[in-house]
Amino acid sequence: MKKIVNEDTDCPIKRTLDIIGGKWKLRLISQIGKETRRYGELKKLIPEISEKMLIQELKSLVAFGIVKKKSFKEIPPRVEYTLSEKGFEVLPIIEIMKEFGKAN
């Protein structure tokens, strides 16, 4: 009998895509990686992302606990982004996607 289980109810892939899906998030996570990145660096690393989208996606990644944001009370203000523990759990997904991208 073929498996026709309606996967809508609590689908783990949907859950993952809610957190790290879309055009930019995996690329941002990959660029932060094990480094500490500032906003300007990320903009340089992914030039085709708009300022608005970069701010929005970083905000979402921080809200989901994937990225940690550290602000320094300096003039001009300094903000640094690093991966959280949960963020490091995404790196194996990125590695396997890189392999697929290289092979295809």
Report in angstroms how near the CB of residue 80 gets to a second copy at its nearest.
12
Judged by CB under 8 A, the stretch of 37-45, 52-60, 73-81 that binds a second copy is 37-45
Q: Is 15 in the site for a second copy (CB under 8 A)?
A: yes
Q: Is 101 in the site for a second copy (CB under 8 A)?
A: yes
Q: Is 16 in the site for a second copy (CB under 8 A)?
A: yes
* CB distance 38 to 79 below 8 Å: yes
How far apart are the C-alpha atoms of 35 and 57, rounded to whole Å?
Answer: 18
How far apart are the C-alpha atoms of 17 and 14, rounded to whole Å?
Answer: 5
